[in-house]
Every structure is written in structure tokens, then in C-alpha cells.
Amino acid sequence: MVLKKLETRTLDHILESMIETVANSKKEIFNIAEQCRHDYDDITNELAEVQKMSSDMTQDGDKLEDRVRHARKRLSEVSKNFKEYTEVEVREAYEMAHKLQMELTMNRQLEKQLKERRDDLERRLVSLNCTIDRAGDLVSQISVVMNYMMSDIRQMGAELETAKQKQDFGLKIIEAQEDERKRLSREIHDGPAQMLANVMMRSDLIEKIHKERSGEEAMTEIRNLKVMVRSALYEVRRIIYDLRPMALDDLGLVPTLRKYLQTIEDYHKTTKIIFSNIGMDNRLPAKYEVALFRLIQESVQNAFKHAEANVIEVKLQITDTMVYVDVKDDGKGFDDTIRKKESFGLIGMRERVDLLGGEIFIDTSIGNGTLVKIQVPLER
């Protein structure tokens, strides 16, 4: 059933409930996986102890078997030459053989119990490992679902009664997406980046140990490992910056843009980026700073990915009532009358500008580069 009219508050409540439910499910699955990891570690430690006890018990049992054989041999000798031994010696030989046999029986029984415990622990480890893997897959799938929901929510704007309602709803979508970007940024920063830093510390320790043992081949492998870890750490931090530049909240749009463009120029090396801010350097409301940063980021990335540009010029002007952005490259350009799969990025840019009540113009032709002009009015 398609509703002809839908109040904004009702729609917002439905969407927030859906996203909150999915997010809570993701959190619960993550907690289950974490608990399974703790249990896995505890059982692994217990298994190591059980294996050691079982090994010790086996060694003790082998020694007891030798003693039992000697005791039986002694008892057999006493029985055959009964008259040559006193009653006390006969009784001692019998009691010793009986005692050792009982100890051996108890030893084998305990050894059997330890083996059964070991097998049970190994089965539990396999089960926990499967649960951890399954939980990881579910978390990934839920993340895909959440991203899909957040990226497609804007389509429901068609149900709003007025253009203003569509605009407000779209801004909520962007805010939800940016909240997710900030959360992911914190998670990666506190997780993989810290882990890679710890690996670097451990590799230095291993290098010192092997250096003392003169393990030249091992040293070569460790050096290669350090190179790989440094590269991985750099990539993780670059991803963090792409997801959500932390400076955007702290410093504002202009300093963050300057830092981002310098970083991406250093990373690509083959393209020069010229940034100029000819207006005010004032802080803007968060929704404008985020949207403008993403628009410029998308334009610059398009110039890198598709235009094969040598020079990219980014101009920003902020006045009391308007924000003007120009992104120009000297790349190969394109025919804007032909819609391609890559044009979905441009559609997303147009939607962002429309939600802010602004305008976007794209001037391009094959072989003549591309100019992206954006104008966004500021609320008083």
C-alpha cells in the first residue's frame, strides 16, 4: 500500500527506529563475538594446562608400569621360594605389588579423564571459532544493510508533502551518514591503527632477540615485516582521514580542506593541486561544512580517477550570504550528455547541493578539462 501523505515526524520516527534496531542487533552480535573470543582464550589456556597435565600423567604412568613390573617380579620370586623368605617379607612384597597396581589404575583413570577433557575442550574451541567467524560475517552483513538503508533513505523524500520537508529529510540522511563515518573513524583509529603500532613494537623486540642469536635470515624477514606493517599503518590512517577528517570538527572547513588537498597531492605525487580561499575564513554550521567538504572531495577525486589531470585548481569564497566553490582541472574532460555508470557520483553531488538549496554547474568537453561551479546560500 502506497501512502499519499506522510508526516515528516512519523517518517523520521520510523527510520530512526529501523536504524536503531539494526544498530542494536549489530552491537549485540559484536558483544557475543567478543565474549566468544574471551572464552576462546580461556579455553585455549585451560587446554594447554590439560595437555601438560596429561603429558605428565602419561610419564608418571610409564614409570609406575616399570615399578609394577618389578614388584610383580619380586612377588613371583617370593612366591616360588616361599620358604626362603619370612612372613613379613612375603606380606611386604604382596602389599607393594598391590599398592603400585592401585596407583597405576588410578593414574590411567585420571589420564583417561584428562584426555576426555582435552577432546571436549578441542571440540569447544572448534565450535567457538565457528561462532566467531559467523558473528563476524553477520556484523559485516549488517553493516552493508545499514549502509544500504542510509544511502537509500533519500528516495523516501518523494513521500513528503512539500519541498521543504524533502530538504529537511535529506539533511537528516546526510547527518546520519556523517555520524556513521565518525563512528567508523573512531573504531579504526582505536583498533587496527593501535594494533599495528603494537606489532611494530613487538617486531623491534624480535629483531633484538634474533640479532643476539645471529639469525641473519630471520632478520631479513623481520625487516620485510616492518616495511609491510608501516605501509599498512599508513593505509589505515589514510582511510581514517578519508572517512572523516577529525580536523573538520575542530578547525573548520578551510584548514581541513588545505590539509586534505596537501595530503592527497603528496599521496598521488603526479598531480599539482592549487588551493585558494579568497573569502572569509569563518566557521559555518556543521551541515554546510560537511556537505561542502564532501562536494570538493568528490570533485577532486573525480579529477584524479577519471580526468587524468596534471593540475587541479580549487577556489573557495565565503561571504555573509553565499558560498562559492570552483574546482577546475586540465584533464581529458567528458561528454556530459552521455550518462555513464561513473555519473552516479555527479548525481550524488547534485542531490547534496539541492538539499542545501544551492546550484551546481558543470562545464566540460572532451579534451578541454572540467570546471565544477557550486553556489550555496547560507541561512541567516
Q: Are 44 and 122 in contact (CB under 8 A)?
A: no
Same domain, 99 and 219: no
Contact 371, 363 (CB under 8 A): yes
Domain membership flag for residue 323: yes
Same domain, 138 and 32: yes
Residue 172 is assigned to a structural domain of this protein: no
In this prediction, residue 155 carries a pLDDT of 54
Q: Whole-number mean pLDDT of the chain?
A: 76
**Pair 236, 120 in one domain:** no
Instruction: List pLDDT tens digits, range 117-150.
Output: 888 888 888 888 888 888 777 777 777 776 766 6
Q: How confident is the model over 306-322, as pLDDT tens digits? A: 778 889 999 999 888 89
Residue 25 counted as domain residue: yes
Nearest Cα residue to 256 out of 302, 294, 310, 299: 294
333 and 269, same domain (yes or no): yes
Q: Specify the length of the chain in residues.
A: 380
For the segment 267-273, the average pLDDT, to the nearest whole number, is 82
Confidence of residue 379 (pLDDT cuts 50, 70, 90): confident
Q: Are residues 87 and 62 in the same domain?
A: yes
Asked if residue 67 and residue 15 are part of one domain, the reply reads yes
**Dist CA 274 CA 327 (whole Å):** 10
Structural domain containing residue 53: 8-161
Does residue 194 sit in the same domain as residue 320?
no
Residues 60 and 198 in one domain: no
Whether 191 and 284 map to the same domain: the answer is: no
In which band, very low, low, confident or very high, does the pLDDT at 89 lie, cut at 50, 70 and 90?
confident
Instruction: Give the total number of structural domains in the chain.
Output: 3
Let me know the angle formed at the C-alpha of 306 by 300 and 312, rounded to the nearest 5 degrees: 35
Q: What pLDDT was estimated at residue 3?
A: 42
Answer yes or no: is 171 within a domain: no
Give the tens place of pLDDT for each residue, 161-207.
445 555 655 666 677 567 667 656 666 666 566 666 666 666 766 66
Structure confidence by residue, pLDDT tens digits, 339-371: 554 455 677 788 888 888 899 998 888 888 889
